[in-house]
Structure 1
Amino acid sequence: MSILEPYHLHEFSHFEFPPASRVLDVGCGPGEQMLELLRRGHEPVGIDPDPACVETVRSYELEAVQGFAEHLPFPDSSFDGVISKVVLPYTRSAIAMKEMARVLKPGGMARFSFHGAGYFLLYAAKHPNWKTRIYGLRSLVNGWSYAATGKRLPGFLGDTIYQSRTRLNRYYRRLGLELLEDPQAPTFMGFPVFIYQAVRKRPLARLSIYRPQVGSSQGQKLTSKPQTSDKLHEFTVKDEFAMK
């Protein structure tokens, strides 16, 4: 059994939406969650940076595009729902969260799960593989550095960051998202291993957002990771530092 298994909150569902909702799966992988959404009568759409995963999803005759959470190639208010399952730790989180809020319709719901600090503490303390223990430790150091300075560690050392409820709640307030569900999941050394939350976009929420162009050039834009410099985005490291 995985060392993480006791810390999952199985009663939390990523799939509870009003009937026949159009739902975006951010970081859809090979489409398992999309198939469950389809089974429940929803219209799933997926996005993932891995072209092999996108092709797998399309083989099920479902809609999927290759791309990144920081640069969603969809118009504003395109979806009734959004799901993102432990994707945010591997993104520039403020930009990705703002993009997910942008494509969500007013009144729409998003269902998230995140890695908390306890996830990486558990890896650092108990994982049988020493390389994974080091990964857990550097992810913790990266998270602490980020909270203190607003900056990640350089290069691959800064590729993963845990989430905290404090930072997430500040994202939600800034983006016009209302927290609906925040169940308490098992902790390790007093820190959450996983954080499970559902939010709703307030009907009158207004966001000033960088909008990716959607059109004939979309395929070209999605063949490589998009630029996410401060010049392109209004809501980047400066905002993240204010939201730690």
Structure 2
Amino acid sequence: MDKVVATAQEALADVVDGASLAVGGFGLSGVPDVLIQALYATGTTGLRVVSNNCGVDGAGLGILLAAGRISRVTGSYVGDNKEFARQYLSGELLVELTPQGTLAERLRAGGCGVPAFFTPAGVGTQVADGGLPWLYAPDGTVAVSSPPKEVREFDGRSYVLEHGITTDFALVRAAVGDRHGNLVFHRAARNFNPLAAMAGRITIAEVEQLVEPGVLDPDEIHLPGIFVQRVVELTAEQAADKRIEKRTVRH
């Protein structure tokens, strides 16, 4: 039952080239930076990433992206990552853009064993009709586009069929975790982290504070340990190292 692994490197030892990863975080909030840095050090490449966004230039998944380690991204936001935009538009990266709420539900559905579901999001657009550019050719033409999806009517309203997502691994960050893998997330870090953790066949959690089983009240646990296979305890310095994406101050 003790799922604690000594180091991030040990926890990631079986991640191979071409593996699929669900990665928690939103912008720079709740990003499993220590695990991402350790994965970068392994040299693993051809990774297929599912995440809300692909980090920013020089941080989070942006580190793997800049090194050419990511071959495909399923996400909902490009944001301020100029390298992400460059690789996508130059045909170096396959990108499946999906509505943010749909992405969240696809991860949750995969974790719950639901193969597919219907949603109104995207009906009447290229999300449902197909034709979204997934991969560009070097000359700027579209090499691969999204296929059309099934649309069905329920009670007079149209809905599009979306498939649940499962991945080989999931990388998440929690504020508190115990040795059984039960996790607690603080504030905005409770964004895509629980959903990504559910979708991974092997979920690895870096935790800022490790406690013994029984310390956490069951009512305060956001993700039960059944979804987590490995836990990595962060050092005090690692836990405190949190970047601010856009610092805003006033007089």
Q: Structure 1-normalised TM-score?
A: 0.35
Which has the larger helix fraction? 1
Task: From the CA coordinates, give the structure whose radius of gyration is larger.
Answer: 2
Which has the larger strand fraction? 2
Q: Structure 2-normalised TM-score?
A: 0.34
